[in-house]
A = this chain, B = another copy of it.
């Protein structure tokens, strides 16, 4: 009986290789207010990010999911923090540190509106207003900055409509993250809002130019595969 309990314990540990690890996942779009009723946003459904948070939690990680507005139910496992804007998302990510792995799957708005109107903008006959934009904080680059709070593994996504791998390699270098999962979001692929994803992983080996192309997988399968890769990576580096 004692032997059986020990075996069960080992088996459980083998199934939960991220037990005792902390993970952070961002998901969904952000919404950047223009005035009290209008906003800028994007078509991210949050399906991939939510699936990754669930997969990391299933492998035992204590997972925080920071999500913009999505039409999805909370996944089982992660602690869920809801935000609207990129600035709110960054603050929630900072509050979740320290973590050993951060996966930035949210489609964070690159720009917000400079000088949000307190009242609803009116058509005054003088033509449309001009929207002056300001650059948003870069959450992936911020989390990737060297320092005591940097997660051991920072994973970003590159959603591109052209020159996918080339742009993803450049993005990895520019952001300072460890891995980039590149995916083609041009309209025919139906990735935004769809249920499957064709991933090209960059940074998974010592060669920064090496590309590991996964087959077309459901977003759930992408999440499981990524979670296992993360577990292997953290396991390898663990002291």
Residues of A bordering B, CB below 8 Å: 34, 36-44, 71, 107, 109-111, 119-121, 123, 127-135, 159-162, 185-187, 192
Contact = CB atoms under 8 A, between A and B. Distances in A.
Contacts of A109: 38
Nearest to A191: B37
Nearest to A33: B43
Contact of A119 (B37, B132, B161, B192): B161
A152 B239 CA distance: 78
Nearest to A132: B130
Given A71-B71, A130-B132, 17 more contacts: A34-B40, A36-B161, A36-B185, A36-B186, A36-B187, A37-B43, A37-B44, A37-B192, A38-B42, A38-B43, A39-B43, A119-B161, A119-B162, A120-B159, A120-B160, A120-B161, A131-B133
Identical chains in the assembly = 2
Q: Which 7 A-B residue pairs are closest in the complex by CB-CB distance?
A: A128-B133, A131-B131, A111-B128, A38-B42, A37-B42, A120-B161, A71-B71
A40 B38 contact: yes
Contact of A128 (B43, B71, B119, B134): B134
